Amino acid sequence: MNERAPDVFRALFETTRGNFIVEARREWAPLGVDRFYNLVREGFFDDVRFFRVIEGFMAQFGISGRPEVAGAWHAARIPDDPVAASNTRGRITFATAGPGTRTTQLFINYGDNSRLDTMGFSPIGEVVEGMEVVDALHADYGEGAPRGRGPDQGRIHQEGNAYLSRDFPDLDWIRRAEILEQPSE
């Protein structure tokens, strides 16, 4: 899962709300784009929930609903990329818990979150079709536990989709993600 990504490619996300397409740009964040490419290519995001959706801010996803898979990736960190593009509406960015902590979680910006640029959040691409689908993702749970009433990330890692389906049945999810375009060599 460490293949070099094409310089530019698109990924289709089929969700419970409809489809959207992300165009990834390696020049913006090469390490992040490589990770994203490999995760999509290998089906990592299939059946993954949008577990943290905050209106006006962002929609976050990327913890596997299968605890054994989530556990295997929990510490698979990639180094930070310098911020080469801004966190504006529709841009997709790896979530972090501080420097050097990017793994599999991403978020899509709902608005101008350029304040995140100075914190090291480096966009890897942007939604080029279907942003209305991202806008419609279920947001009523809001911020995650313990600060809000949304899902607890630790429990997602430990219990997976069984926990989310039982306690947060209205969450939207990714049915399937796939690479759409690869440039010819």
Instruction: Identify whether 104 is part of a domain.
Output: yes
Q: What averages of pLDDT result for each successive group of 10 residues across the chain (185 residues)?
A: 93 98 97 98 97 97 95 93 98 95 97 96 98 97 90 96 97 97 54
Q: What is the structure's pLDDT at 147?
A: 87
2 occurs within a structural domain: no
The CATH number of the domain where 66 resides is what?
2.40.100.10
Q: According to the model, what pLDDT value does residue 146 have?
A: 85
> Does some domain include residue 171?
yes
Residues 6 or more apart in contact with residue 23 via CB below 8 angstroms: 8, 9, 10, 125, 126, 128
| pLDDT for the residue numbered 176 | 98
The number of domains in the chain is 1
Q: b or e along 113-123 (b: 16 or more beta carbons within 10 Å of the residue's beta carbon)?
A: beebbeebbbb
Is 76 part of any domain? yes
Residue-range definition of the domain harbouring residue 175? 8-181
Establish if 3 belongs to a structural domain.
Answer: no
pLDDT of residue 182: 61
pLDDT at 153: 95
Q: What pTM, to 2 d.p., does this model score?
A: 0.95
38-40-41-44 Cα dihedral, nearest 10 degrees: 90
Instruction: Please indicate, yes or no, if residue 1 is contained in any of the structural domains.
Output: no
Distance, in Å, from the CA atom of 178 to the CA atom of 98, rounded to the nearest integer, reads 29
Q: What is the pLDDT of residue 185?
A: 46
Among candidate residues 109, 113, 106, the one with its CA nearest the CA of residue 174: 106
